[in-house]
Structure 1
Amino acid sequence: MDILPVILAKNLFFCYGVKRALKITSNSIKTCKMSIYTFGPLIHNPQVVRDLEGKGVKAVNNLRGIKEGILIIPAHGIAPQIINEAKAKGLRLIDATCPYVQRVKDLAKSLKDEGYQVIIVGDQGHPEVEGILGFIKEKAVVLTKSSQIRPAKIAKKVGVVAQTTQTLDNFQTIVRNLLKFTKELKVYNTICEETIKRQTSARRIAKVVDLMLVIGGKNSANTNRLAKICQEEVKTYHIEEAKELKAGWLKGKKRIGIAAGASTPDWIVKEVVNKVRSGK
């Protein structure tokens, strides 16, 4: 049987922030004898989280019942209220927040301090966005798309930041529309450069293949956006593992493109690539 050609997107495997968070957690596992927790998943990949649980790292959604131990702040950050609660309980905090996520928080706070109404281009309810809202200690406007803009609620001075995994097109569209309703607009493009590179590469490949496979957690914002981008160009399937791949998807296809989210481990990508190439 002929090997099915596969075109791989650039910037596969873990991004810097994910690598950093995993390294911090790995060091904690090796050196700490206390119970280790993460508030929510350390990264948005169920397989990696399951692997960490096997090593004794438990993901929790609240701190009730936890009296001692280590709480690792995940790569996408958490709200200050959670940090304060952990400190009050006497838990040891280890910060694995991605530096690029922390930068968004710092810039949002500087905008607030300068008297700007803060607008966050991002997903309402996402941990990163919730962390930003908590950090600036003020109600900000969260916009997922430009149709959500309510002119009556837009101030004369507006400052804009973006969730790090947003698409540049969406960010630019919202900013352009905000210009219609405000007198002064200060914009920080806080989309992670790694995110932009992944999105650009995935779209480029999607234009020249018969099918795209996007690999990563279904709870991963950046992976979901990659899948959406690719779907605009060609039939696309978002999968987490090789076992989800169906042979029927490959039937009659001449070239398959593969992209992966920033929290997708290399071993999962390799398993998918090998299965696609085998045609099974």
Structure 2
Amino acid sequence: MEIEIAQSYGFCFGVKRAIKIAEEHPGSSTLGPLIHNNMEIERLKRDFNVSLATNLDDIGAGQATVIRTHGIPKNDLKKLKEKGGEVIDATCPFVTKPQQIVEKMSEEGYDIVIFGDANHPEIKGVMSYATGPVYAVLNVEELKTISLKERVAVVAQTTRKIEEYNKIINYLVPHHKEVRVFNTICNATFENQDAARELARRADVMIVIGGKQSSNTKQLHTICREYCPDSYHIESKDELKKEWFEGKKLCGVTAGASTPEWIIEEIIGKIREFKV
């Protein structure tokens, strides 16, 4: 069986930057998981003594804290700075952008619509920058239940599919006098999704590697399943099953933006050991 890796996969710019920042600040803490990959979080703890704080109360006065790639709510950032420790901002610049847009558009009197998951840490942070009405929706049906003013500004979670974002935009435009649209979906997301789609069209089995809580990895898995029904989302080599590969000629491999190369190499090595 042949193994082929997607042309674009794995660590994006924002994640690489955050990992480097954390490694440069050994002994620091992160407020929430730095990235959505448990194995990489454990590596940072083991090799650089970077601890994980689940809430503000876990962070002591004067302790150095690294802000996660997804960002944190504006008020949490203020409280963190009040503790007196060094605050190192590893928020991805592509996440900072919608935060700034939401703050500006909200101050100018626009209702804010965010295409994304209201429970995702990135969206919680982005929503916190609004000074007026702000709504997070996942589809047009949710949008129809909201009463919006005539002036609307819309942004998207960085890891969402552009096709789904277009549906939100196409609904808003004819229903409101002014709609300001900002494309805040990350280019790396586009590239990884396009590469996964191209490979899944040819593969007999697809392995999608990434954290189980990773939004962009879940999106990759959904895309792969559209073209290759035998697509599996795994986080580590221990989840692999030999029967997935029996009778297959081409195994495609892709990985989410929070997946380090060492995990990808481990999984590919384990697949090769099956010798199917």
Q: What is the TM-score normalised by the length of structure 2? A: 0.94
Q: 84, 89, 95: which is aligned to 2:83?
A: 89
Task: Verify the 8 A CA contact 1:154 1:181 in the aligned structure 2.
Answer: no
Task: Verify the 8 A CA contact 2:106 2:131 in the aligned structure 1.
Answer: no
Counterpart in the other structure of 1:18: 15
- Structure 2 residue runs of 5 or longer lacking an equivalent are none
Task: Verify the 8 A CA contact 1:222 1:262 in the aligned structure 2.
Answer: yes
Counterpart in the other structure of 2:216: 222
Counterpart in the other structure of 1:27: 24
Residue 162 (str. 1) matches residue 156 (str. 2):
yes
Q: Secondary structure, in 3 states, of the residue corresponding to 2:61?
A: coil
Task: Verify the 8 A CA contact 1:5 1:277 in the aligned structure 2.
Answer: no
Counterpart in the other structure of 1:32: none
Counterpart in the other structure of 1:51: 43
Counterpart in the other structure of 1:103: 97
Task: Verify the 8 A CA contact 2:111 2:133 in the aligned structure 1.
Answer: no
Task: Verify the 8 A CA contact 1:133 1:139 in the aligned structure 2.
Answer: no
Counterpart in the other structure of 1:42: 34
Deviations 1:7-60 (A, max 9, x none): 21122231100111111111112xxxxx51101111111001011121311111
Q: 176, 179, 191: which is aligned to 2:173?
A: 179
Counterparts of 2:8 and 2:131, CA distance in 1 = 35
CA-atom RMSD, angstroms? 1.4
Counterpart in the other structure of 2:257: 262
Deviations 1:183-221 (A, max 9, x none): 211101110000011011111111111111100000111
Counterparts of 2:108 and 2:129, CA distance in 1 = 15
Q: For residues 112 and 213 of structure 1, do their structure 2 counterparts lie closer, same or farther at Cα, with a shift above 3 Å needed?
A: same
Q: Secondary structure, in 3 states, of the residue corresponding to 1:232?
A: helix
Task: Verify the 8 A CA contact 1:151 1:181 in the aligned structure 2.
Answer: no
Residue 5 (str. 1) matches residue 15 (str. 2):
no
Paired letter, 1:53: K
Q: 119, 122, 136: which is aligned to 1:125?
A: 119
Q: What is the TM-score normalised by the length of structure 1? A: 0.93
Residue 149 (str. 1) matches residue 149 (str. 2):
no
Counterparts of 1:59 and 1:269, CA distance in 2 = 24
Counterparts of 1:70 and 1:132, CA distance in 2 = 23
Identity %: 38
Deviations 1:95-121 (A, max 9, x none): 011111101111222221332211101
Deviations 1:44-81 (A, max 9, x none): 11001011121311111112152331111011111111
Task: Verify the 8 A CA contact 2:72 2:121 in the aligned structure 1.
Answer: yes
Q: Secondary structure, in 3 states, of the residue corresponding to 1:252?
A: coil
Q: Secondary structure, in 3 states, of the residue corresponding to 1:179?
A: helix
Counterparts of 2:132 and 2:121, CA distance in 1 = 16
Counterparts of 1:24 and 1:40, CA distance in 2 = 15
Deviations 1:140-186 (A, max 9, x none): 11011222112551221111111111111111111112224222111
Task: Verify the 8 A CA contact 2:107 2:132 in the aligned structure 1.
Answer: no
Task: Verify the 8 A CA contact 1:161 1:188 in the aligned structure 2.
Answer: yes
Residue 252 (str. 1) matches residue 247 (str. 2):
yes
Counterparts of 2:192 and 2:216, CA distance in 1 = 9
Aligned residues: 272
Residue 208 (str. 1) matches residue 202 (str. 2):
yes
Counterparts of 2:137 and 2:245, CA distance in 1 = 38
After the TM superposition, which parts of structure 1 deviate over 3 Å for at least 4 consecutive aligned residues?
none
